[in-house]
Structure 1
Amino acid sequence: MSERPGEAFREYVDVRLPALHRLAYLLCQDRHRADDLVQDTLVKLYLKWDRAMAATNSHAYARTTLVRTFLSERRTNWARRVVLVDRLPDTASSTDPDAADAVAVRAALAGLPPRQRAVIALRFYSDLSVEETGYTLGCSPGTVKSQTAKGLAALRRALPHVEPDGTAPARTRS
């Protein structure tokens, strides 16, 4: 890394921006909102850059800042969550089953409460341990486990046609 803080921050952002944006998108389910969330996170990170660099894992520090910013926004400012449109959004027109599954999974994730969505994204997308996820969210490992179980159960209910191994469930004869 560079000696000057501005350059070090710029180099860090160049490397970590795609990962932060993907995590933000998983949490928000909206590309524009994810851009805003990443921007807010980077501002906070820049203001605390000395602390982030002193942390044992600067990537975890940034990820924690992003998730906590997301959860904080979900708790407050309800008007930002209300979206008024004059027409329904376009639906996916692809006949590719993988694209349809991806849309279904995104919709199911969007239906989860913010904390469960954050736990699922951190545990299964960012591949964090229970302890790392708890630290990121500021909660106990038991809370992470219960939120994970509730989130997975809700996803299974929302996606009954997909088994954990990616296959369709076997049909039984009546």
Structure 2
Amino acid sequence: MPGEKDAEFLAFVTMSRRELRQVAFLMCGDWHQAEDLTQDALLSLYAAWDRIEVRSRLLPYARRVLLRKLLDQRRRPWRREVATSVPDREDVRAGTHDLGERRMLLDLLANLAPRRRACLVLRYFEELSVAETAEVLGCSEGTVKSQTSRALAELRALVDDAGLAIDDLLQGVS
């Protein structure tokens, strides 16, 4: 029934839209782009709604669609522009972590390749397990571990001069 499909989808969107937008923001670093990515992902999800058999796995599936939308968008030549500053927004997650450190972390995340950034966002901000992250990214658990390790190594190299520990930054934001 069309009405039932719409009601189910609306309930899912109501429950997950904010979280998906936060994930998108952490992956791309721009609230407007995050909103566009979230809307595109939800449109694709709605188009495939009748074909989705396991309704209990909707959020991981939606994250995967979101990531694919971001990667597709990054391949477009006109999307290769990089933001030079972080929007004046309060924390993407409530907490007491210093806003300056959050901005620094977002700037650092913007320097990472999209797959590595996605690994960090899903593992540390969304607190997904290695297996769940692998499912969202469509890769093996070993790939998630290696990409996460390499991303952390890149971030550590970037913050060494600042005298901050990347582990502290990640702990405080998550």
TM-score, length basis structure 1: 0.81
2:164 to 162, 167, 171: 162
Query: Is the contact made by 2:123 and 2:130 (CA closer than 8 Å) also made in structure 1?
Result: yes
Give, as a single letter, the amino acid of the residue that structure 2 aligns with 1:102.
R
Give identity over the alignment, percent. 38
Measured in 1, the distance between the counterparts of 2:87 and 2:10 equals: 37
**Number of aligned positions between the proteins:** 158
1:22–1:53 distance in 2 versus 1, CA, 3 Å:
farther
* Structure number having the greater helix percentage: 2
Q: Give the letter aligned to residue 121 of structure 1.
A: V
After TM superposition, list the pairs within 5 Å mapping 1:1-174 onto structure 2: 4-52=4-52, 54-74=54-74, 76-82=75-81, 98-160=98-160, 161-163=163-165, 164-165=167-168
Q: Which runs of 5+ in 2 are unaligned?
A: 89-96, 170-174
Partner Cα separation in structure 2 for residue 165 and residue 148 of structure 1? 16
Question: Which protein shows a greater Rg?
Answer: 1
Q: Report the more deviating stretch, 48-57 or 132-141.
A: 48-57
Aligned CA RMSD, in angstroms, stands at 2.5
> Which runs of 5 or more residues in structure 1 are unaligned?
167-174
Q: Is the 8 A contact 2:116 2:150 kept in 1?
A: yes
Greater RCO, CA 8 A, separation 6+: 2
Output the CA distance in 1 between the equivalents of 2:140 and 2:22: 25
SS at match of 1:159: helix
Does structure 2 retain, via aligned residues, the 8 Å contact 1:45–1:62?
Answer: yes
Q: TM-score, normalised by structure 2?
A: 0.81
Deviates more, 1:13-22 or 1:136-145: 136-145
Structure 2 CA distance for aligned equivalents of residues 50 and 128 of structure 1 = 26
Paired with 1:14 and 1:124, the residues of 2 have a C-alpha distance of 24
The answer to whether the 8 A contact 1:52-1:62 is kept is: no
Distance (whole Å) between structure 2 residues aligned to residue 104 and residue 82 of structure 1: 19
Greater Cα shift, 59-68 or 19-28 = 59-68
**Local SS of the residue matching 1:35:** helix
Change (3 A) 1:56 1:101: same
Q: Check the 8 A contact 2:60/2:135 in 1, yes or no.
A: no
Distance in 1 (alpha carbons) for counterparts of 2:87 and 2:42: 32
> By how many angstroms is 1:137 displaced?
1.0
Gap change, CA 1:53 and 1:11, over 3 Å in 2 = farther
